[in-house]
Structure 1
Amino acid sequence: MPAPSAVTRPAPANDADDAAALHRLILSSLDDDQAVDTVSIPLEGKSSIADHMVIASGRSTRQVASMANKLAERIKAELGRTTRIEGLPTADWVLIDAGDVIVHLFRPEVRSFYNLERMWAFGEAPEPAPPPGPAPH
């Protein structure tokens, strides 16, 4: 799957609070849609592509596509940000570029084949995503 081009990539948030709000919204949306094995890999200071990479699975192509569509709609409705989505027609692996957070949604078999967690963990085991909750004070 080709990476989104730099020209059409969504703009990053203006500050760390916006990026944190986007990250929380994504985790909350995936939790609401019963995503499986959601992990969040912090990229800040390790890569310039985003602050976080979130990886999750759906049980079927239908669930993966539904989660991707709902997530893009929530980001637009609640934060006023557009996203770039690739892979939606087949929904085996859907990439959602939200600027500060990159989301990969997979069917389980496809996820285990590509094993992005291992590739992006920078020698550290990725941690399960924290449960969505209120913003820290």
Structure 2
Amino acid sequence: MAVADNMAKSEQLLATILKSLADDKAEDIVQIDLRGKTAIGDYMVICSGRSTRQVTSIAEKLAQTVKDEFGRTAKTEGKDVGDWVLIDTGDVIVHVFRPEVRDFYQLEKMWLSGEQAAAPTH
């Protein structure tokens, strides 16, 4: 039962994160199911913002939303620069990139198989 409860919370958290990103006009949102692949979390979400200001804003609002709705303090890294911000909510790891930085690192290719990598959502 505890595993099912944890997965339900993880799914709720993911849905809230995806809604927050969409509301803040994040682009090319990709979600990756990490269950069974790694212990770092259940999901990874990768998205882009058009500028350093938008990347930082998306990250700040997302961290606040997670705190308000789930009582979790998300760990963030990279907010000072705004090229790539990592938001670790525990069950879901979120990467918010400027498009050029995202293209350079290509995180999706590390975690997705071929058919999934070609299907970003907006």
| 2:109 counterpart (106, 118, 134) | 118
2:84 and 2:7 map into 1 onto residues whose CA distance is: 28
* TM superposition outliers: structure 1 runs of 4+ over 6 Å: none
Give the 5 Å matches for 1:1-137.
15-122=6-113, 124-126=115-117, 127-129=119-121
SS in 2 for 1:125: helix
Amino acid at match of 1:88: K
TM-score by length of 1: 0.81
Q: Once superposed, what is the RMSD of the aligned Cα atoms?
A: 1.4
Provide the identity percentage.
Answer: 56
TM-score by length of 2: 0.91
In the comparison of the two structures, how many residue pairs are matched? 117
Q: Say which structure is richer in helix.
A: 2
> Where in structure 2 are there 5+ consecutive unaligned residues?
none
Considering Cα pairs closer than 8 Å and 6+ residues apart, tell me whether 1 or 2 has the greater RCO. 1
Determine if contact 1:118/1:125 at 8 Å carries over to the other structure.
no
Task: Give the letter for the 1:16 counterpart.
Answer: M
